[in-house]
Amino acid sequence: MGVRRFRMYVDEVGNDDLTNVHDEKHRYLSLTGLIFELDYMRDVFVPALESFKRTFFRSDPDERIIFHRKDILKRKGPFGTLREVSKGKLFDNELQNLIRDHNYKVITAVIDKKALLSKSHWRKNHPYHWLMEILIEKYALFLKRHDGIGDLMPEKRGKADVALQFECDLIFQNGTRFASSNSIKKSITSSQLKFRAKIDNVAGLEICDLIAHPSYIYVRQCQGHDVSPGPFAMQVIQSLCDLRYDRSANGVIKGYGWKYFS
């Protein structure tokens, strides 16, 4: 049996702006990583997702259906056909089954930008880079526990990707608080991030988009924030807590499947 190979797909909720942190809508930033074994992604998940799409949508073969959480919830674009009540309910149920039943792990990190800016010892001045460091650290530790190696695929963000790549190179050179440079390099095959856009029809990024916001809301709930997940998010959260969040050997999720910084 060969070495197990994994990939972490990364999506964000919020933005990295530091000028509007007093506005509740801009105060928090979250990164969520979904970890799939590559053989499983290729042989099981991608065929299952494509089959699911064909079941509900008769799209132009040259205009692929791309799942996007906001469009699905608002029944926009190709998802307008889901306004038919019976079809919409069946789609939602089957989508929840897809999220719950497949084999992957989730790690979410959330940062309170307002709180951290008030602390003189905060050594990072870019919240997105801070969170990416946490995901890389957690991912490297996950790979070590599972005797695997892997790489990372974040969603493209344009010009910001250059600065993020530079930061990742530094993380590989210097390590983190809980993962040395050597341990990161041993587990993660390259510091080069495999940037892709959602329109590239990457299954891992599509499912990450569906999960990132519910996971972000759940982490804030755990901090006692006044947030209320909708029905779709509540079902996703239940699946994450039951099966999909990464956790310690004795089942602890906090610090493994999610982490909060303030």
Q: How many CB atoms lie within 10 A of CB 122?
A: 13
**What was the pLDDT predicted at 138?**
96
- Alpha helices (H) in 104-257, listed in sequence order: 113-117, 127-145, 160-174, 181-187, 203-222, 231-239
Average pLDDT over residues 147-163: 93
Q: Output the pLDDT for position 165.
A: 93
Of 251, 259, 246, 224, the C-alpha closest to 108 is 259
Find how far residue 74's CA is from the centre of its chain. 21
C-alpha distances in Å from residue 51, one per residue of 44, 77, 83, 98, 135: 11, 20, 21, 11, 31
DSSP run (H or E) holding 148: strand 148-154
How many domains does the chain divide into? 1
Return the higher-pLDDT residue of 68 and 18.
68
Q: Rounded to an integer, what distance in angstroms lies between the CA atom of residue 244 and that of residue 247?
A: 9
CB 149 within 8 A of CB 143: yes
Full domain range(s) for residue 160? 4-261
132/199: higher pLDDT: 132
Categorize the per-residue pLDDT at 123 as very low, low, confident or very high, splitting at 50, 70 and 90. Answer: low
Give CA–CA dist 107/201, Å, rounded.
Answer: 22
Q: Which residue has the higher pLDDT, 184 or 62?
A: 184
Q: Model's pTM, two decimal places?
A: 0.94
Neighbours of 258 (CB within 10 A): 24
Mean pLDDT to the nearest integer, 212-230 = 96
Amino acid of residue 215: S
Comparing 25-29, 43-47, 52-56, 113-117, the range with the smallest average pLDDT is 113-117
Number of Cβ within 10 Å of residue 98's Cβ equals: 17
CA nearest neighbour of 107 among 67, 152, 172:
152
Look at 15 and 170; give whichever has higher pLDDT: 170
Q: Where are the alpha helices (DSSP H) in 44-122?
A: 46-56, 69-74, 85-101, 113-117
95 pLDDT band (50/70/90 cuts)?
A: very high
Please state, rounded to an integer, the average pLDDT across all residues of the chain. Answer: 92
Classify residue 137 as exposed, middle or buried by CB count within 10 Å of its CB (0-12, 13-18, 19+).
buried
Q: Is the pLDDT of residue 237 over 60?
A: yes
Banded model confidence at residue 121, pLDDT cuts 50, 70, 90: low
* The pLDDT of residue 90: 96
